[in-house]
Amino acid sequence: MAKSRMFYQSGAYRQAVESYAEIQEEMKGNARFMFEYGHALHKLHKPEISNKVLKEALKVSGDPMILNIIGKNEQEMKHFDNAEQWFMRAVHRLPGRIYPYYLLAHLYAEPAFYQCDKLEQMVQTVLEKEPKVQSTAIKQMRRKARELLKKAPEN
C-alpha cells in the first residue's frame, strides 16, 4: 500500500489506481484505502467505478468527503437529482462544513439544473457561515461562489 499511497499523494492517479486495483480485495475493509482508491478514480473521470468503490467505503467510514465525491461523480454523469441528494447528506452529516454548500451552489448553477433561488441561498450560506478555521480554501470558495452569482442568467 505504501507504493499506492505515494502515487496517490503525488497526484499520479493513473499509477495509484493500477496499484490499488492489485490490492483491492485484501484492503476492502480499510477506509483510507477505499477513499483514496475511489478519489483517484474520480480524478481520472471514472465516476461509475469511483462510486462503486466509495459506496463500499461508506460501509467502513463516516467521512463526509466520501459523500461529496459521490455527489461530484453523480454531477459529472449529469444525474443532478442524485448529486443533490449526496451533497445534502454531507450537509446533514456535518452542517458546520462549508464545502458541501459550495458544491450545492455549483450544482444549482449548472445550466441543465439551474435553480436561481437555491443558488442564491447556497452562495449566501457559503459567504455567511462561520468557518471553524479561516483558510485560503475558504477565501477561494467564497470568491468563486460570488462569481457564480455574477455569471448566473438573469431571471
Q: At what angle do helices 2-9 and 31-43 cross, to 10 degrees?
A: 40
pLDDT band at 151; cut points 50, 70, 90: confident
Give pLDDT tens digits for 23-75.
999 998 999 999 999 999 999 999 999 999 999 999 999 999 999 999 999 99
Amino acid 154: pLDDT? 66
Q: How far apart are CA 94 and CA 49, in angstroms?
A: 26
Residue-wise DSSP of 91-107: HHH-TT-SHHHHHHHHH
5 alpha-carbon distance from chain centroid: 20
pLDDT tens for residues 93-138?
999 999 999 999 999 999 999 999 999 999 999 999 999 889 999 9
Selection from 26, 25, 20 nearest residue 38 by Cα: 20
Cell numbers standing for residue 33: 484505502
Residue ranges and CATH numbers for the domains of the chain are 1-61 (1.25.40.10), 64-155 (1.25.40.10)
Distance, in Å, from the CA atom of 113 to the CA atom of 108, rounded to the nearest integer, reads 6
Average pLDDT, the chain: 96
Helices 99-109, 136-151: crossing angle, 10 deg rounding: 20
Contact 80, 110 (CB under 8 A): yes
Determine the straight-line distance between the first and last CA of the chain, rounded to whole angstroms: 52
Supply the pTM of this predicted model: 0.94
